[in-house]
Amino acid sequence: MAPLLQVDNLTIRFPRAEPVRDLSFDIGQGETLAIVGESGSGKSLTALALMQLLPRAAKVASGRIAFGGRDLLKLDAREMRHLRGRDIAMIFQEPMTSLNPVMTIGRQIAEVLKVHERLSGRAASERAVELLKLVRIPAPEKRVDDYPHQLSGGMRQRVMIAIAVACKPKLLIADEPTTALDVTIQAQVLDLLDTLRRELQMAVVLITHDLGVVAQWADKVVVMYAGRKVEQALPGDLFNNPLHPYTRGLLAASPRLKNDFHYRDGALSEIPGSIVSAAGEAGCPFRPRCAQARASCGHHVPQLTVPAPDRLVACPFTSPIKAVPHAAALSL
């Protein structure tokens, strides 16, 4: 079966930079794909490119985004508007500012129903109450007339989710949906997303830099660094046997994933340097920060290879599994 969304060789270009390069991934129906990477790795831009909502200065320089058999990059503005909010919906990072402060949440939910399902005002506000109930907001009949400032961050993110799932989209893009939230709320929101994913049979692109989130909720993980995919794996494989030095660094820097580790037991390891060093790097973008960098790393960008089924890695020096060199036949 063809995947719901297939991204091939996506390159996003700003006048002076290419923050996303040659990125490919796909998602099947009802699947959760996690895209992880630190700030500046191009995760959010990828998400915005899927929605065709890139900032004005950014352009998709090349690539293909096939959604349900149509190339989104070839649609005109009107066709894209019909997809946005109906078939592809998005939740943003900042629930505090992502809702219009001068509109009641009920009207903000109803708006998307009016646009795509041509519901009357009354029918739309009734559906808004149902949707608030769906995202587990207590007393939805009362809350529907609240303004965003009357809600907590977690509640606002639930409202955002209600807006996103209002038209039962096939694909939901969640761009760091819990980053701005309290730790206790994070799990609730992610659980809600996962429940809705199953109930509404949506595919979810979950963008995050929280590996704990990945371990618990993702079906497939793409690790990005400096705009490129450096590793792809099933979550179990990724955590048990990270291949790319960057992934290993990320895991080592993550306290929650080690059993019985407490931050007082010793310093967490860190990846030295910053992602800025990737700019203008000729070979592997991770080379300046990589502990095992060799001279040959500076020559060309490492190709993605298939070291094992369902895995991709962009580093020729991954020790544990012997790398299979040619990636030409891969279709992951």
Partner 1 sequence: MPALVRIGRTLRRTLLQAIPTVLGIVILNFFLLQLAPGDAADVMAGEAGSATEESMAALRSRFGLDNPVLVQLGHYLNNLAHFSLGFSPRYGMPVADLIAQRLPGTLTLMAVALLIAILLGVILGSLMATFAGRIPDRLLSIFSLLFYSIPSFWIGLMLIVFFSVKLGWLPSGGAATIGSRLTGWPALLDKARYMVLPATSLALFYVAIYARLTRASMLEVKNQDFVRTAYAKGLTPFGVTARHILRNALIPITTMAGMHIGGMLGGAVVVETVYSWPGLGRLAFEAVMGRDFTVLLGILLLSSLLVIIANAAVDLVHAWLDPRIGAR
Query: Which residues bind to partner 1, rule: CB under 8 A?
Result: 51, 53, 81-86, 89-90, 92, 94, 97-103, 111-112, 115-116, 147, 149-150, 160, 163
Report the residue number, 23 or 51, with the smaller CB distance to partner 1: 51
- With CA atoms as reference, report the closest residue to 273 among 286, 254, 257, 256: 286
Which of residues 163 and 306 has its CB atom nearest to partner 1 in the complex?
163
Give me the torsion for CA of 296, 297, 298, 299, rounded to 10°: 60
By beta-carbon proximity to partner 1, the closer residue of 53 and 279 is: 53
The alpha carbon dihedral of 25, 18, 83, 112 has a sign of: positive
Tokens of 318: 């991954």
Using alpha carbons, list the distances in angstroms from residue 155 to 62, 95, 147: 38, 9, 11
DSSP H or E run through 109? helix 105-117
CB of 84 to partner 1, least distance (A): 4
Q: Considering the complex, state which of residue 128 and residue 306 has its C-beta at the smaller distance from partner 1.
A: 128
The amino acid at residue 109 is I
Task: Report, in Å, the least distance between residue 258 CB and partner 1.
Answer: 35
Structure tokens at 283: 């070979």
CB of residue 150 to partner 1, shortest distance in Å: 7
Q: Which residues make beta-bridge pairs with 6?
A: 26, 66
- Shortest distance, position 187 Cβ to partner 1, whole Å: 24
Which is closer to partner 1, CB of 90 or CB of 314?
Answer: 90
Q: Cβ of residue 318: shortest distance to partner 1, in angstroms?
A: 38
Compute the least distance from the CB of residue 147 to partner 1, in Å. 4
Structural tokens at position 37: 């990477």
Of 158 and 287, nearer to partner 1 (C-beta) is 158
* Residue whose C-alpha is closest to residue 94's, from 153, 149, 136: 153
Q: What's the token pair of residue 160? A: 């955002």
Q: Positive or negative CA dihedral for 196, 197, 201, 203?
A: positive
Max Cα–Cα distance, the chain, nearest Å: 67
Element (H, E) at 113: helix 105-117
CA dist., res. 71 & res. 163, Å (int): 25
Nearer residue to partner 1 within complex by CB, 115 or 257: 115
Of 107 and 332, nearer to partner 1 (C-beta) is 107
Tell me how far, at minimum, the Cβ of 99 lies from partner 1, in Å. 6
Task: Say how far apart CA 126 and CA 302 lie, in whole Å.
Answer: 54
In the complex, least distance from residue 332 CB atom to partner 1, rounded to whole angstroms: 29
Q: Which is nearer to partner 1, 115 or 252 (CB)?
A: 115
Q: Record the tokens describing residue 1, joined without a space.
A: 């079966």
Q: Bridge partners of 205?
A: 33, 173
Shortest spacing between CB 227 and partner 1, in angstroms? 21
